[in-house]
Structure 1
Amino acid sequence: MSQNPMPETAPADTRVTPMMAQYVEIKTANPDSLLFYRMGDFYELFFEDAEIASRALGITLTKRGKHLGEDIPMCGVPVHAADDYLQKLIALGHRVAVCEQMEDPAEAKKRGSKSVVRRDVIRLVTPGTLTEERLLDSGANNFLCGLTRLRGGSLTGDSVYGLAWIDMSTGSFQVSESDDQRLAADLAQISPRELILPDNLLQENEIRHLAQQSGAALSPVPRAFFDSSTATDRLAHYFGVKTLDGFGTFSRPELSAAAGILAYIEKTQLGERPPLDPPVREAGAGRMLIDPATRANLELTRTLGGEKQGSLLATIDRTVTGGGSRLLASRLAGPLLNVGEINRRHDAVEFFLDNEIMREGLRQTLKGAPDMARALSRIALQRGGPRDILSIALGLEAAKRVLDQTSASGGAIPAEIEAARSSLEKAPHALGDELSRAIKEDPPLLKRDGGFIASGYDANLDELRSLRDESRKVIAKLQADYAEELGLRSLKIKHNNVLGWFIETPSAQAEKLTADPGRFIHRQTMAGAMRFTTTELADLESKIASAGERSQAIEFEIFDRLAAAIVASGDAIKAAAYGLSILDVSAALAKLAQEDGYVRPLVDDSRAFEIKAARHPVVEQALKASGGQSFVANDADLGPETQGGTGRIWLITGPNMAGKSTFLRQNALIAVLAQMGAFVPAASAHIGVVDRLFSRVGAADDLARGRSTFMVEMVETAAILNQAGDRSLVILDEIGRGTATFDGLSIAWATIEHLHEVNKSRALFATHYHELTALSQKLDRLSNATVLVKEWKGDVVFLHEIVPGAADRSYGIQVAKLAGLPASVVERSKAVLSQLEEQDRRSPAEALIDELPLFAAFTQPKAQAGATKPQGPSAVEEALDGIDPDDLTPREALDALYKLKAARKASSAET
């Protein structure tokens, strides 16, 4: 984007106005941002900024004089509505530099009539540095993430990535390491709003693709931001400590990323330092790895269409606070691996499930608890107002009530809830009481508006307010006295910003005032009216003005003192806010479990995966909302048959629309719910911890990278086969369907064998290749399952029940009929199918199952030197040499396969 407002062919004799000279100077210093240039009650934009903003905001583009002989494009937004326009610009990926007037225009005039008001940029507004309540989603974190890379940062010499992410609106600060395999999954878990990274790193195609895939606004910065040699000093300086030892141990990549993100914050906040928590190291190995494709396919937090409604998060969210909603989303994004921590969360949910009266009282209290964490951040950044102070007061008041509500329990309080209560007990309740006394119930949004301190809090303020308010009554009495004395009922005492208080009477009745010029002093003649003042009125005006100014000054002083006290108690307030969020999430998940019949899962370190009567949480809720049929529950058992064994694979066949994909997804979602600390939609569940969750469900292309739907499918399948282990859960749907029949069947065949012999993962594999069911004869951990259907008068009826066995047909034509294909097409399809089935009496897979070695045979070491080698090509090899696969129809390929089998038998007989 070109930001140079200077036309290259400017006339040499034109002059630059002082204001334009100032604008150009400030704009030159902020070339990558739209400049909001304050002029009175408006933020004005000029030149290309104005053209961009007018299109983005849908506002009128006008002109303001000339600059170097050219018209100046201009548009503006009112200061009081600036947040709404900022929200639109930030959502579109723009950055905004806010340039304020740093002095009163009257002061500028004292330097000369042509002097320009001093202005300067006070803040750079970017997607990841927002703190304003109106610009943020109350239920989602607004993460600014820093990404850097150190080559040779590990013992293996591979590249190591450093990640640091901050939510400036709450102050949370986390760091972690990543690697090439985990990076995409880690970024997907964080889900940053803005991603900063070294500009040289962004030039690499793969990194750029991962960064773009994250959905974040990208902000490349100089490599020096991430200088690891100075990272420790930068962090220590920011937090005012001599050493970072008190914060924990961090690796060089983590320190580098943390330093880079702090440098960016200092740049965008222009000296203001947000009240950040000390960095906390999050071990990526402590969270279930879920890659971006799996997150998208399972629709954990967003549907495939990008909407929150219809996602798993929207389905399970019963929280009543913004902080609770954000914590729930965070837990869903990163399910735990530590069994002890998982059970701590389950204990808390079970506690609130058993104590319904306590839970409902707690939730009622939490509904009135404002977002203390975000209010605190705004106050610390000097962007807060009276309502933010009131939010702290109400939040601390809620914390006090919650303490009372959670103390009355007949049994032991779980550790998760006790830890939350401990943070509430340490909250600055005395400060909360003072804030409640100080701020009135419905204060104005901005400090500058005044009138936010409650009556009775400060005696001096009350006295000045009384003087100010009583003086207005005196003016009303003075008006009545003048009107009676002069016999002029139309006489009024009014006020404006130019004359102050004045007496106004119609011109036709002004003779009685002009007759006494010593008392009634003429001020102004209007069309049809005349204005006067008196010494008495002037004295009263002086008292009123003084009282108003002094009362406002006292209010500002009180505000600053209260804000400073809040910032000083910031750590305790943050801890209390987090404690309320924990209680909100635990109570909300208990509410969900009670309303929708969820049960506590057994989660341990085994390889078990046994779920009875499992249901899909999202589909079930949709069916309830529509008032339709109830959800058909199904069992799943992928655990080993013997203690210490590895998981099983279920090969699931059945027609389209029968519910195979729903069954696959519901088991994956139940694993996520169980390990995030929630109860699950099932009759019972026993799950050995899943360390990595992989899903290949659905179809989509990647045109930006030149990848077809089938190519995307193969890339995702390759990632699964290269990364899945014996603790992983894999769900695969219709692998190989995007290519020719035999190619697809071969790929699906080999994929199952690889999962069985190499990955040894627990897996659900849905397919329409019925030939694959024969593999259960050779693979001892492979079981066949199918979806029950019934045929009724030529139509198919879906029963949605998963039972052992294999389907012998796909009912594709019946499904096509249900979809509305023309009757002639349906009938012709039946005729073609009948002919093909008559010709294809024996499937190639069944013919080969006894002949092909298992996948393991292809992974054995090569024969040692000296081993006997075949002499010349065999008959089968000679036959293969004469086949061109690209020139065969499916029917010809099948015939060729039979010929190869015959040739092999003949060769074996000769041997």
Structure 2
Amino acid sequence: MSGQSAQSLAPADAKVTPMMAQFLEIKAANPDSLLFYRMGDFYELFFEDAEIASAALGITLTKRGKHQGEDIPMCGVPVHAADDYLQKLIAKGHRVSVCEQTEDPAEAKKRGSKSVVRREVIRLVTPGTLTEERLLDASSYNYLMALTRLKGGSLQGDAVYGLAWIDMSTGTFQVSETDHQRLAADLAQVSPRELILADNLLQESELRLLAEQSGSALSPVPRAFFDSSTATDRLAHYFGVKTLDGFGTFSRAELSAAAGILSYIEKTQLGERPPLDPPVREAGTGRMLIDPATRANLELSRTLSGEKQGSLLATIDRTVTGGGSRLLASRLAGPLIHVEAIQHRHDSVGFFLDNEIMREGLRQTLKGAPDMARALSRIALNRGGPRDILAIAQGLEAARAVLDQTGSSPAEIPAEIAAARASLEQAPHELGAELVAAIKKEPPLLKRDGGFISSDFNADLDELRALRDESRKVIAKLQADYSEELGLRSLKIKHNNVLGWFIEAPSAQTEKLTADPGRFIHRQTMAGAMRFTTTELADLESKIASAGERSLAIELEIFDRLAQAIIDAGDAIKAAAQGLSILDVSAALAKLAQEENHVRPTVDDSRAFDIKGGRHPVVERALKKSGGESFVANDADLGPQSGEDIGHIWLITGPNMAGKSTFLRQNALIAVLAQMGAFVPAAEAHIGVVDRLFSRVGAADDLARGRSTFMVEMVETAAILNQAGDRSLVILDEIGRGTATFDGLSIAWATIEHLHEVNRSRALFATHYHELTALSAKLGRLSNATVSVKEWNGEVIFLHEIVPGAADRSYGIQVAKLAGLPATVVARSQQVLSQLEEQDRRSPAENLIDELPLFASIAPPPPSAAPAAGPDPVTEALGEIDPDDMTPREALEALYQLKSLTVR
């Protein structure tokens, strides 16, 4: 804080005000976060916190008094807009401690005029512990992950890593065990927003760099959080059970990670317990392994520039609910490798593809279904409001409607859809009906504002509201009753600040009032009038005075009762929310298949990879939007041929821009789509399960590790050659191009041989080294393929067709010309290429240099023909033509005239 530690700002300083002393004490207990200190309608920040926040939020930095002779920097944000500022701070990696007033100011004054209102930190806000709707992306999970390492374990190797991850906004809780080789891929699959790990692990440079490259906010914690000896007891205590046997079997590493993440939640939530599901063990062997480099190269969920738009996920997402969008992203991140589970998902998509009317009705209903899972979490954490209760009500209404819509199919319902319907049937529909009746259709955001309970739901509340909102009408009615009863038309009920409400009548007409002093109590005698009150009027006055407070109290009481009922039915509500998400994803993928002409793939345990008419979904979508050329579909068959039991390698040659990289990526994406449970962009597809997907495409350096582009390429290639197996699919593009020609050619040559003989993987290998095509004669499972092109009048036309054979040239100069290189450079390149082609490529480099003059010493080649002297007759004739003022016949005659002018 402005260069001073919390200890140096001790409240013992005589000049410290009581309020500042309180702030310093609370700040000292929360040194690693920005302190939002509640003062009235603002959260204030002081000292270094204020300087950091003002810079991050772009708000004014002011000063408030002095401390130890120096001005105190200060800034603040309004309480009502705090979520917006929190979102900005969390997005920039900051942690925020929210300090609220926990005492009524009137109570503080009772302790003395200088007493400070009691304040406490009620919550530590971190990237992985968000639950507020405005702070979250509805289409993405917000995972908090714990990483721990133990020596030994059930996996091979000297050390085993335990992972546990939760989404506090939905209650998801999963654990797994992994090793160092798979760790990066597992982190990439989950993509946590915040990663917690023991501080000693964070001191290891390699592990720290791996954690940083995951893109997560890093939160070091004491090693004691991950104590495996007490992990079982801590988990059992959290979930209120005596044993974890009912949850499944967990390894020591998994228990350690799970205990660590629960300890962190208890630390940050300060007594509030999010409604977490029991931990579920996710076996890493149940998912396709996709390393971070491959995910980035294939742009599964984000493009290389970090944008969602343009990614595969954005292209295929047709979901209409937040839960469905999150589930789709999760399935894309971790495609399955179990055939039966994959087929169940395909069955669901096929069912909705065949039942279009049902599907569209379902999607229309789901559009109005709020995010029940996240609303439930906020309610359980005591952060919910009336809109969250309304979300549960509307979600349960949607569940009932979906049951009706999906129960009328004459066809057999697939297993996945049947399971989803079963969860909807078990939803608390009676509670849903009560919630619908209780909450207004457009309630306020905060329960403290009141006015969210519907009329006719509670008689006492309706009466108080009538008193509060229509007190004049109530008084007028009582006045009319008294006037009629006593026969005094001149009787009035009035109000002033001294007497409050009172009955007034002319003195000459008060006999009936004074005759019943037990009922009509005399208050005041005026000139010509007397004033009275009654017990009934006094009670009514009291009710009117307190009607607002009492009506709010009743509303809050009803809110708490409904919230507790929701929490009690939490498991059933979660299951219903998951059921709606599953139906949303299945219907959305069916919609995608119909719109984009995707087909159901055949997925089995073979080594097949036979794609007929495959297309790249993202590129095809972009071409459709632009209204340009249609996508050229291509076949790929990497499966075993007759008499074989392992797949093939295709060596693909051809020019740049011809579509080699697109072809490589589209086949990888088809495999991902098929195994996540979607239909695929192809005419036919038969895929033997791919257990690991590797892609080495594109070029980038790694400045953090001091690695050049070529070094990154070699590291990624090494990872592939060391890990790929006969069930893997490998995509390699331009291996060896980042070094000297013969070095690169040698590396590429050896890489192909290793893939063929050792890895025995199905692979697509694109290259400009045409010499490699000779390997097809030596390697039985290597086939040559090329991208066909056509030359026309010196121009190259890319046909984007993959055909058997090998390219005889790369057309690099033609591509350079298309890119806009100066004509002199293009011409000189052609000249040098001609000389190179005449040389023996294996001659010493110095001989070639002697024969080729330096570029700077050679004048640009002369133009092919000198321009004609005088005006060009064709240009002049064209200048006289107005196409908009010509008939077709006149245009044809003009064309003949132009033709005659060009004849020499």
Question: Which bracket does the TM-score occupy, shorter chain normalised?
Answer: 0.7 to 0.9
> Could you report, residue by residue, the CA deviation over 1:627-649 in whole angstroms, capped at 9, with x for unpaired residues?
11100000000001035521100
Helix, strand or coil: the match of 2:219? strand
| Residues 9-52 of structure 1, C-alpha deviations (whole Å, 9 max, x = no match) | 99998511111111011000000000000000000000000000
C-alpha deviation, 1:694, in angstroms: 0.2
C-alpha deviation, 1:542, in angstroms: 3.9
Instruction: Check conservation: 2:155, 2:178, Cα contact below 8 A.
Output: no
Q: Distance in 1 between matches of 2:810 and 2:110?
A: 88
- 2:67 corresponds in structure 1 to 67
Q: Map residues 438-457 of structure 1 onto 2, 5 A cutoff.
A: 438-457=438-457
Q: Which residue of 2 aligns with 1:668?
A: 668
Please name the residue that 1:462 is paired with. 462
**8 Å contact kept, 2:297–2:698:** yes
Equivalence map 1:604-643=2 (5 Å): 604-642=604-642
TM-score of the superposition, structure 2-length normalised? 0.87
**Which residue does 1:349 correspond to in 2?**
349
Corresponding residue for residue 337 of structure 1: 337
Q: 1:609 to 1:221 in 2, by over 3 A?
A: same
Q: Secondary structure at 1:181's aligned position in 2?
A: helix
Q: 2: distance between equivalents of 1:102 and 1:29?
A: 17
User: Aligned equivalents of 2:719 and 2:53: distance in 1?
Assistant: 43
Report if aligned partners of 1:34, 1:96 keep a CA contact under 8 Å in 2: yes
Residues 2 and 204 of structure 1: is their aligned pair in 2 closer, same or farther, counting only changes over 3 Å? Answer: farther
How far apart, CA to CA, are the structure 2 residues paired with 1:693 and 1:444?
49
Name the count of aligned residue pairs: 813
Alpha-carbon shift at residue 543 of structure 1 (Å): 3.2
- What is the alpha-carbon distance in structure 1 between the residues aligned to residue 395 and residue 451 of structure 2? 22
SS at match of 1:466: helix
Asked if the contact 1:455–1:462 (Cα under 8 Å) also holds between the matched residues in 2, the reply is yes
Q: Is 1:323 aligned with 2:332?
A: no
Partner of 2:304: 304
Match of 2:162 in 1: 162
Partner residue, 1:418: 418
Corresponding position of 2:898 = none
Alignment correspondent of 2:181: 181
CA distance in 1, matches of 2:580, 2:615: 31
Whole-Å separation in 1 of the counterparts to 2:206 and 2:803: 43
Partner SS state of residue 470, structure 2:
helix
* Residue 777 (structure 1) aligns with: 777
In the other structure, the counterpart of 2:686 is 686
1:92 partner amino acid:
K
Shift of 1:155: 6.6
For 2:37 and 2:760, locate their aligned partners in 1 and report how far apart those are by CA, in whole Å. 62
The alpha-carbon distance between structure 1 residues 336 and 155, as it changes in their structure 2 partners (threshold 3 A), is closer
Give the whole-Å Cα distance in 2 for the aligned partners of 1:222 and 1:2. 27
Deviations 1:485-521 (A, max 9, x none): xxxxxxx9999xxx99999xxxxxxxxxxxxx9899x
Change (3 A) 1:4 1:406: farther
- Residue 272 (structure 1) aligns with: 272
What is the CA deviation profile of residues 261-315 of structure 1, one whole-angstrom value per residue up to 9, with x for unaligned ones? 0000000000110000000000000000000000000000000011100000000
**What's the Cα RMSD here?**
2.7
How do 1:389-404 residues align onto structure 2 when only pairs under 5 Å count?
Answer: 389-404=389-404
What secondary structure sits across from 2:260 in the alignment? helix
Distance (Å, rounded) in 1 between the aligned partners of 2:11 and 2:555: 54
- Please name the residue that 1:858 is paired with: none
1:795-823 residue CA offsets vs partner (Å, 9 max, x unmatched): 11100000000001000000000000000
Distance 1:500 1:173, change over 3 A: farther
CA distance in 1, matches of 2:765, 2:418: 43
The DSSP-based 3-state class of the residue aligned with 1:756 is helix
| Contact 1:54 1:60 (8 Å CA) reproduced | yes
The match for 1:134 is: 134
Letter in 2 for 1:558: I
TM-aligned CA distance change 1:597 to 1:157, over 3 Å: closer
Asked whether the equivalents of residues 10 and 21 of structure 2 are also in contact (C-alpha less than 8 Å), the reply is no
Q: Is the 8 A contact 1:615 1:681 kept in 2?
A: yes
| Residue in structure 1 matched with residue 149 of structure 2 by the alignment | 149
- Quick check: 1:236–1:242 contact (8 Å CA) kept in 2? yes
Take 1:500 and 1:90, find their aligned partners in 2: how far apart are those partners? Answer: 55
User: What residue ranges of structure 2 are gaps of 5+ in the alignment?
Assistant: 480-493, 503-522, 852-904
1:874 maps to none
| Whole-Å separation in 2 of the counterparts to 1:183 and 1:297 | 18
Q: 1:9 to 1:20 in 2, by over 3 A?
A: closer
How far off its partner does 1:548 sit? Answer: 1.7
Within 5 A, what are the aligned runs for 1:187-226?
Answer: 187-226=187-226
Letter in 1 for 2:113: S
Rounded to whole Å, the distance in 2 between the matches of 1:381 and 1:415 is 34
1:545: how far off?
Answer: 2.3
Letter in 2 for 1:223: R
* CA distance in structure 1 between the aligned counterparts of 2:321 and 2:121, rounded to whole angstroms: 35
Partner-residue secondary structure (3-state), 1:392: helix
- Farther-moved stretch of structure 1 (118-127 vs 464-473): 464-473
8 Å contact 2:713–2:735 — kept in the other structure? Answer: yes
Alpha carbons of structure 1 residues 889 and 292: separation in structure 2 relative to 1, 3 Å: farther
Deviation of 1:461 after TM superposition, in Å, equals: 1.2
- Counterpart for residue 861 of structure 1: none
Name the structure 2 match of 1:294: 294
Match of 1:530?
none
Larger CA deviation: 677-686 vs 13-22: 13-22
- What is the CA–CA distance in structure 2 between the aligned matches of 1:475 and 1:76, rounded to whole Å? 46
Cα distance 1:726–1:116, how it changes in 2: closer, same or farther (>3 A)? same
- Match of 1:281? 281
Aligned to 2:116: 116
Distance 1:92 1:660, change over 3 A: same
Unaligned runs of 5+ in 1: 480-491, 504-516, 521-532, 848-884, 895-911
Matched-pair contact (CA < 8 Å) for 1:5–1:47: no
Aligned counterparts of 2:154 and 2:9: Cα–Cα separation in 1 = 56
SS of residue in 2 equivalent to 1:411: coil
Deviations 1:120-152 (A, max 9, x none): 000000000000000000000000000000012
Alpha-carbon distance in structure 2 between the residues aligned to 1:276 and 1:793: 69
In 2, the alpha carbon distance for the partners of 1:216 and 1:15 equals 42
Alignment partner, residue 833 of structure 1: 833
TM-score normalised by structure 1 residue count: 0.86
Identity of aligned pairs, percent? 83
SS at 2:181's partner residue? Answer: coil
**Aligned residue for 2:566?**
566
Using the TM superposition, give the Cα deviation of residue 470 of structure 1 relative to its aligned residue in structure 2, in angstroms.
2.3
What is aligned with 1:43?
A: 43
